[in-house]
Amino acid sequence: MFLLDKFLSKAIKHGQLIVTDHDGKEYTYGTPGEYDPEVGGRAGPVRIRLTSKKAANHIVRYPQLGAGEAYMWGLLVVEEPHDIRDMILLVTMNAKRLGDASLKPKGPIRKTLQRAVAKLDGINLRSSARKNAEHTYNLTRQLYERFLDEDRQYTMAYYREDDPSATSLEQAQMDKKAHLAAKMYLKSPEDNGGKPMKVLDIGCGWGGFALYLNKMYDCEVLGVALAPDQIAFCQERAKELGVEDKVKFELMDYRDVTGEFDRISSVGLLEHVGTIHYPQFMEHTNRLLKKDGVMISHCCGRAGPPGFTDAWTRKYIFPGGYIPALSELVTNSEKFGWQVMDVEAMRFHYSYTLEEWYNRTVMHKDEIVEMYDEEFYRMWLFYLAGAEQSFRNGGMVNWQLQYVKDRSAIPMTREYIQEESARLRERGEVPKWRFAEALREAAE
Same domain, yes or no: 99 and 154: no
Same domain, yes or no: 70 and 200: no
Q: Does residue 112 sit within a domain?
A: no
Same domain, yes or no: 324 and 400: yes
Burial classification of residue 73, based on how many CB atoms lie within 10 Å of its CB (0-12 exposed, 13-18 middle, 19 or more buried): middle
Residue type (1 letter), 160: R
Return the percentage of the chain with pLDDT > 70, whole number.
Answer: 85
| pLDDT the model gives residue 38 | 46
Mean pLDDT of all residues in the chain? 88
Domain assignment of residue 21, given as a range: 2-103
φ/ψ of 31, rounded to 5, equals -120, 125
Final residue belonging to a domain, choices 84, 103, 122? 103
CA distance 63 to 80: 25
| pLDDT the model gives residue 138 | 56
Q: Does residue 246 sit within a domain?
A: yes
Same domain, yes or no: 88 and 149: no
Same domain, yes or no: 294 and 384: yes
- Where are the extended beta strands (E) located within 105-157? none
pLDDT average, residue stretch 237-252? 97
Other CB atoms within a 10 A radius of the CB of residue 164 amount to 18
Other CB atoms within a 10 A radius of the CB of residue 119 amount to 15
| pLDDT the model gives residue 318 | 85
> How would you list the strands of the sheet with 289-302, edge to edge?
247-251, 220-225, 198-202, 261-267, 289-302, 396-404, 339-346
Other CB atoms within a 10 A radius of the CB of residue 444 amount to 5
Q: Does residue 273 sit within a domain?
A: yes
Tens of pLDDT, residue by residue over 311-364, are 898 889 988 889 999 999 999 999 999 999 999 999 999 999 999 999 999 999
Closest CA to 398 of 309, 289, 269: 269
Q: Does residue 169 sit within a domain?
A: yes
Helix segments in 393-435, DSSP class H? 415-427
Q: Does residue 311 sit within a domain?
A: yes
> Domain of 91: which CATH number?
3.30.1050
- Look at residue 70 and give its three-state secondary structure: helix
Q: Does residue 386 sit within a domain?
A: yes
> Domain of 348: which CATH number?
3.40.50.150
Is it the case that residue 435 has pLDDT exceeding 60? no
Instruction: Name the more confident of 68 and 128.
Output: 68
Residue type (1 letter), 290: K
Q: Please, which pLDDT band fits residue 111 given cuts at 50, 70 and 90?
A: low
Q: Does residue 116 sit within a domain?
A: no
Same domain, yes or no: 160 and 256: yes
Same domain, yes or no: 198 and 88: no
280, 254 contact by CB (below 8 A)? no
Same domain, yes or no: 179 and 68: no
Q: Does residue 119 sit within a domain?
A: no
Same domain, yes or no: 280 and 355: yes
Instruction: Name the more confident of 141 and 225.
Output: 225
**Predicted structure pTM score:** 0.90
Final residue belonging to a domain, choices 87, 103, 119? 103
CA distance 132 to 124: 8
Same domain, yes or no: 238 and 293: yes
Tens of pLDDT, residue by residue over 362-395, are 999 999 999 999 999 999 999 999 999 999 999 9
Is it the case that residue 103 has pLDDT exceeding 50? no
Same domain, yes or no: 156 and 195: yes
Q: Specify the DSSP class assigned to residue 35.
A: -
Element (H, E) at 299: strand 289-302
Strand pairing class (396-404; 339-346)? antiparallel
> 47-56, 174-183, 221-230, 427-436: lowest mean pLDDT where?
427-436
Same domain, yes or no: 338 and 281: yes
Q: How many domains does the chain have?
A: 2
List b or e across 285-295, with b for residues whose CB sees 16 or more CB atoms inside 10 angstroms. Answer: bbebbbeebbb
320, 128 contact by CB (below 8 A)? yes
